């Protein structure tokens, strides 16, 4: 194509994109009008229906709002002369309803990602747009099936991976590669495991798979949402904008420590405690710990009833305990059975004594009336309630686990390992979360709390009705002013109950907020990143959160550092989804330059010789280096690195063992990427327990452009190929 022809094509494409943005603006204006109408509500519309419509229209507005950046990023020319424009969302002509822009997830868009010279997928030309804001800057063409054709897609990919990193992960919607696209569109209803080494894009592929599933199965997934579980808050912040940038907002982001709402993790377990708590072998220990709170009275417990004294003896309590335990109900709910048996025995004994000489069982009416009175008396008896609390107490997960962990006697009685003992049982750790979650199911609901919640709801409803009565009395005020204040039209209200409905029994929180606060919320799909770190007990928690067992699991066994983590995907998943999981691997490293990956691969070969490192698609042209330093020189070198990188565009980080000032531990950088990385004291990282080699591998593979290593001790042997660099040289 000549320069003149190119310029003419560019003007034509710019005009076409201007038309697409005009269509986007019109769609957005219509969506906002629909949203405003939903907020106002229709005559006679129920509050719940109105809220559903408000949320749906708000979601539509959000999806259109995110499309401004990179609305259209390419064009396909088919062999039969058809042109298909591919973009972030789909748009249709307002008159013909024909598609003018294909959503990247639509089947017709797939050739944009998978067509090659060998397999052109009926595509003659693939055109890649390069835009800034709403302006088309340039384009590149790839003529498929023509050996002399260009490499536009490769150029776009390399431009993306070479670009400086920003504050968070970017979507790859314009540069999805063939092996990535196959996983994103995989039609599998169970668990999909995506394994790949550093830089293979497994995380962003998993997130795009979520966007694809929401596109193809929106009705099934959207109302319950998607849960994304990541290793730490920094990682979640890093990936948090990918799905919103694709127009998907009904997503909950959590770390494993967040899975029990309201719990605050403040401590860290020893590796041995992590291993013990992560194993399913802890389950009988928890069950025994619950049972240990049930008691038989050492001496009969006196209960005043009907003017006489009755007693709960060991025999009665034993019968009640066996009946309650045999009911199969969770502990707190089984207390009802325990209470019923004890109540029956006490009332039978009391009736016999109270009615001696004048009451027989033949007088059924009098007998049952007396029983009813005595049962009511027991229900209000503080002594009876105290006796029940002593023999079969209402428990919370925290009231079981904290005493268990801080008592060697309780641990021994429950069959637990003494290594689980700690001084402060309530100093919660991430490894406690699955145990507390398990105890929620073992204990069940607290009936008293449920009754209190129901009472509070009735009181709130009564208060709202009273408020509605007051509002109805205000109808003499200016109606327009009142309409605006209340968000409803006064003429639509016929009585206080109608108005009360507007304000009661409504949860106006977004789905993500509601789901995150509800332990019993279930999701239609769950994404688990850094999944090699999750224990058997962690997986029990997640399986409860997704009864349909629809998961996208992302990880790299070579990077496992948790002693309770996965050593094989089959061993971890088969107990939960036997035969319902598939494995896919990513083999191309899009992040780490070949020069840096060669260094990391040498470390990998030392501790995981059977693992093949991913192949890098590019070289950065900047050799990684090493430099020995003294204690006094370390701060100077780190300071120079920070100052030098501050002058460059992009991001940087200092990674080192705990205790190095200004350094971030390797475990806190998992899943993150930076333009430049300085690794401090690799010898100490390597020597830090069984997870040291994996930590060093992680540290070395965070850089997208530049890597330096400074060491106060001997340089580890796998890093011997690093180019030595003088301390005084510019880094």
Per the annotation, where are the binding residues for ATP?
A: 196-203
d(CA 187, CA 209): 10
CA-wise closest residue to 540 among 552, 549, 529: 549
Q: Answer for the pair 351, 367: CB distance below 8 angstroms, yes or no.
A: yes
Q: Answer for the pair 426, 314: CB distance below 8 angstroms, yes or no.
A: no
What residues contact residue 4 under an 8 Å CB cut-off, 6+ apart? none
Cα angle for residues 189, 190, 191 (degrees, 5° grid): 135
What residues contact residue 289 under an 8 Å CB cut-off, 6+ apart? 400, 401, 404, 410, 414, 416
d(CA 344, CA 103): 67
State which H helix or E strand residue 703 sits in: strand 703-711
At 708, list the tokens: 């330096």
Beta bridge partners of 654: 678
CA-wise closest residue to 150 among 167, 129, 125, 176: 125
Cα angle for residues 670, 676, 678 (degrees, 5° grid): 75
Long-range pairs of 106-109 with CB within 8 A, sequence gap ≥ 24: 106/215, 108/84, 109/76, 109/84
Q: Walk across the sheet containing 525-528 and list its strands.
A: 251-254, 226-229, 525-528, 551-555, 191-196, 581-586
CB atoms within 10 A of CB 2: 7
CA-wise closest residue to 386 among 455, 295, 290, 307: 295
Beta bridge partners of 312: 301
* Annotated binding-site residue numbers: 196-203
Residue 675's alpha-carbon distances to 199, 389, 603, 700, in angstroms, are: 13, 60, 21, 12
Beta bridge partners of 102: 86
Cα dihedral sign for 276, 279, 284, 289? positive
Q: Answer for the pair 97, 142: CB distance below 8 angstroms, yes or no.
A: no
> For residue 420, what is the DSSP state?
G
> For residue 216, what is the DSSP state?
H
Collapsed DSSP state (helix, strand, coil) of residue 389 = helix
d(CA 321, CA 473): 57
């Amino acid at each position: 194509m000549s320069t003149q022809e190119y310029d003419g094509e560019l003007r034509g494409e710019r005009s076409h994109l201007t038309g697409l943005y005009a269509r986007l603006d019109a769609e957005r204006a219509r969506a906002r009008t629909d949203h405003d109408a939903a907020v106002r509500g229709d005559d006679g519309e129920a509050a719940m229906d109105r809220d559903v419509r408000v949320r749906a229209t708000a979601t539509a507005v959000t999806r259109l709002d995110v499309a401004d950046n990179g609305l259209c990023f390419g064009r396909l020319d088919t062999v039969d002369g058809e042109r298909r424009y591919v973009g972030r969302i789909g748009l249709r002509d307002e008159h013909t309803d024909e598609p003018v822009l294909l959503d990247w997830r639509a089947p017709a868009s797939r050739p944009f990602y998978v067509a090659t010279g060998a397999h052109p997928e009926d595509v003659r030309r693939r055109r890649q747009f390069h835009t800034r804001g709403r302006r088309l800057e340039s384009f590149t063409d790839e003529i498929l099936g023509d050996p002399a054709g260009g490499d536009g897609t490769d150029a776009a990919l390399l431009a993306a991976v070479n670009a400086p990193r920003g504050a968070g992960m970017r979507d790859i919607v314009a540069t999805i590669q063939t092996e990535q696209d196959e996983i994103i569109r995989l039609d599998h209803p169970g668990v999909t495991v995506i394994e790949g080494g550093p830089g293979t894009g497994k995380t962003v592929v998993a997130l795009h798979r979520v966007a694809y599933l929401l596109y193809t199965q929106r009705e099934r997934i959207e109302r319950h949402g998607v849960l994304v579980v990541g290793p730490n808050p920094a990682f979640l912040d890093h990936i948090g904008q990918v799905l919103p940038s694709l127009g998907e907002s009904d997503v909950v982001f959590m770390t494993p420590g967040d899975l029990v709402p309201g719990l605050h993790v403040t401590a860290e377990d020893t590796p041995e405690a992590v291993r013990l708590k992560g194993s399913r072998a802890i389950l009988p220990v928890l069950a025994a710990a619950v049972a240990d709170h049930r008691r038989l009275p050492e001496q009969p417990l006196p209960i005043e009833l009907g003017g006489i004294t009755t007693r709960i003896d060991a025999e009665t309590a034993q019968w009640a305990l066996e009946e309650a335990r045999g009911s199969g109900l969770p502990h707190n709910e089984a207390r009802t059975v325990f209470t019923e048996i004890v109540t029956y025995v006490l009332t039978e004994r009391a009736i016999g004594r109270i009615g001696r000489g004048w009451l027989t069982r033949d007088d059924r009416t009098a007998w049952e009336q007396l029983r009813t009175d005595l049962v009511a008396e027991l229900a209000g008896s503080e002594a009876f309630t105290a006796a029940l609390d002593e023999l079969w107490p209402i428990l919370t997960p925290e009231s079981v686990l904290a005493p268990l962990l801080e008592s060697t006697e309780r641990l021994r009685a429950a069959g637990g390992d003494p290594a689980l003992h700690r001084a402060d049982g309530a100093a919660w750790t991430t490894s406690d979360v699955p145990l507390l979650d398990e105890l929620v199911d073992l204990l069940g609901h607290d009936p008293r709390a449920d009754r209190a919640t129901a009472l509070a709801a009735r009181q709130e409803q009564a208060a709202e009705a009273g408020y509605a009565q007051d509002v109805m009395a205000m109808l003499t005020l200016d109606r327009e002013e009142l309409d605006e204040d209340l968000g409803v039209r006064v003429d639509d209200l016929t009585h206080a109950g109608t108005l009360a409905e507007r304000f009661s029994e409504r949860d106006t929180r977004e789905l993500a907020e509601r789901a995150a606060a509800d332990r019993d919320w279930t999701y239609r799909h769950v994404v688990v990143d850094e999944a090699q770190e999750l224990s058997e007990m962690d997986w029990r928690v997640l399986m409860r959160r997704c009864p349909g067992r629809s998961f996208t699991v992302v990880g790299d066994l070579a990077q496992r550092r948790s002693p309770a983590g996965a050593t094989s995907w089959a061993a971890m998943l088969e107990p939960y989804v036997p035969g319902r999981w598939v494995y896919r691997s990513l083999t191309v490293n899009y992040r780490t330059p070949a020069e840096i990956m060669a260094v990391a691969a040498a470390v990998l070969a030392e501790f995981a010789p059977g693992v093949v490192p991913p192949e890098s698609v590019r070289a950065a042209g900047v050799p990684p280096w090493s430099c020995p330093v003294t204690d006094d020189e370390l701060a100077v070198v780190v300071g120079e690195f920070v100052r030098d990188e501050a002058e460059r565009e992009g991001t940087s980080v200092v990674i080192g063992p705990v205790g190095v000032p200004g350094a971030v531990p390797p475990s806190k950088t998992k899943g993150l990427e930076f333009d430049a990385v300085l690794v401090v004291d690799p010898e100490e990282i390597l020597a830090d327990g069984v997870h040291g080699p994996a930590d060093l591998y992680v540290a070395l593979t965070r850089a997208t452009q530049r890597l330096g290593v400074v060491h106060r001790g001997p340089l580890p042997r796998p890093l011997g190929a690093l180019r030595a660099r003088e301390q005084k040289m510019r880094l």
